């Protein structure tokens, strides 16, 4: 046997400084440009700024509960009570046993809280269009705190809590208003739910969209 006269071709070695093929805009792709975030730079103001903004939103919504409490005390229907003396003792009873004023008190709070939720959800979206988890948490927590504060403010501004003393003050058989009472405690969640639904809906419809990630370039075929 005789050895072949022509040696086999050497293996193809890719140059260490070879770059990716040029892109459509004339640039070149470089592997270092694609990190853990898929080549996209960090968007948004940063987590610390988002947390600060969320804290401001929570405090603002909580303080807004004062306005809700004032509006509830002003618009809620009054439940008429009457005092009387039976066997030498003062008793207080509802004047109109078939009235729906008590349900109207809860309904007024619920409708006002829903209006506050819609308003605050829309305002927060206009001021913070990017949304984010901290903003969502702030809307839920702030709405709940605002509702709790509104409940206590409305009760404090409303008629006197000591109905017996009030009945003795106005006299026997004279009607007076019962203190505000929120029987349906679930109404305290109305503000939070309304704000979250409005904000998430507006974010889904009109919020900024993330740019489509640029596909990774293909390495040219070796010949």
| Residue 16 C-alpha from the chain's centroid | 53
What is the C-alpha to C-alpha distance for residues 75 and 143, in angstroms, rounded to an integer?
20
- Cβ neighbour number for residue 83 with a 10 Å cutoff: 22
What is the C-alpha to C-alpha distance for residues 169 and 57, in angstroms, rounded to an integer?
44
Judge whether 53 and 134 are in contact, CB under 8 Å: yes
Q: How far apart, in Å, do the first and last CA atoms of the chain sit?
A: 32
Q: Which two tokens stand for residue 119?
A: 């308003």
Q: Which whole number is the average pLDDT over 193-216?
A: 81
Confidence check: pLDDT of 1 > 50? no
Ranking 19-23, 75-79, 180-184 by mean pLDDT, the lowest is 19-23
Confidence check: pLDDT of 91 > 80? yes
The values of phi and psi at residue 173, to 5°, are 80, 5
Q: Please report which confidence band the pLDDT of residue 195 belongs to, taking 50, 70 and 90 as the band edges.
A: very high
Confidence check: pLDDT of 47 > 80? yes
**3-state secondary structure (DSSP) of residue 70:** helix
pLDDT above 70 as % of the chain? 73
Q: Quote the pLDDT of residue 17.
A: 45
More confident residue, 175 or 214: 175
The values of phi and psi at residue 158, to 5°, are -75, -170
103-116 pLDDT tens trace: 899 999 999 999 99
96-145 pLDDT tens trace: 777 778 889 999 999 999 999 999 999 999 988 877 899 999 999 999 99
Q: Quote the pLDDT of residue 10.
A: 54
């Amino acid at each position: 046997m005789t050895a072949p006269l022509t040696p086999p071709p050497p293996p193809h070695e890719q140059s260490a400084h070879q770059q990716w093929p040029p892109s459509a805009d004339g640039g070149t792709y470089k592997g270092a440009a694609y990190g853990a975030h898929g080549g996209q730079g960090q968007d948004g103001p940063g987590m610390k700024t988002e947390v600060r903004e969320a804290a401001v939103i929570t405090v603002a919504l909580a303080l807004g509960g004062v306005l809700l409490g004032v509006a509830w005390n002003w618009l809620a229907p009054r439940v008429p009570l009457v005092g009387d003396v039976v066997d030498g003792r003062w008793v207080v009873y509802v004047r109109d046993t078939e009235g729906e004023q008590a349900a109207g008190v809860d309904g007024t709070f619920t409708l006002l809280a829903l209006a506050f939720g819609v308003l605050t959800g829309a305002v927060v979206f206009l001021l913070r269009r990017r949304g984010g988890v901290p903003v969502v948490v702030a809307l839920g927590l702030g709405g709940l705190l605002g509702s709790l504060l509104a409940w206590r403010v409305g009760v404090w501004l409303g008629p006197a809590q000591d109905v017996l003393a009030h009945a003795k003050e106005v006299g026997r058989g004279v009607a007076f208003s019962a203190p505000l009472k929120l029987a349906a405690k679930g109404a305290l969640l109305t503000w939070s739910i309304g704000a979250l639904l409005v904000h998430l809906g507006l974010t889904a419809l009109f919020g900024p969209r993330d740019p489509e990630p640029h596909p990774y370039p293909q390495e040219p075929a070796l010949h």
